[in-house]
Amino acid sequence: MSGSAAIPMKVKLIIAGVILILLLVIGIVIYSAGNRKGKSKGQVNISTLPADLAGGQGAQASESEIRQLASEIYEDMKGLNVWGHNITPWQRVLALSDTDLVRLSNEFNTSYQKESEQTLKEWVDSEVGGGTAWPTVRETVLTRLNKLNIL
């Protein structure tokens, strides 16, 4: 009989599990760092009105209404939305004029982009959630944001 004892199978499995978890954590850290690369901390994306809307044509909502709506959609999107989104503020977003949609995007980005590291467009694009209305609302909002070249 030799002087070394065999390592029990249970210990081998625990060691393999710990190594797997460490590799997973390292992978997540590297992925997160790569996603943030190129995004300047503190930088806020502000969109300009398309030429045909310059001068604020079509503005109908007050500054306080835009600020309130930005807050409502932020509150709706933060956290998990397993049971669905509150569609009411999104219906108001869809009813905005193009000028007001640009104003909303700028307000959202000014207020929340530093914290979330995403613009309104990026966040809506990556947002998932339950409910039957959200996929249609999401696609409609993204289509309008893209049409206006909103960042």
Domain residue extents for the chain = 51-147
Q: For residue range 5-41, what is the model confidence (pLDDT) as tens digits?
A: 788 889 889 998 899 898 888 877 665 555 444 444 5
Does the domain formed by 51-147 have CATH 3.40.50.720? Answer: no
Residue ranges of the chain whose pLDDT lies below 50: 35-40
So what's the pLDDT on residue 51?
55
Query: Rounded distance, CA 98 to CA 103, Å?
Result: 9
Report d(CA 76, CA 117) in Å as an integer. Answer: 17
Within 13 Å, how many C-alpha atoms sit on residue 77's CB side? 24
* Residue 100 and residue 64 in contact, taking contact as beta carbons nearer than 8 Å: no
Q: pLDDT value at position 37?
A: 43
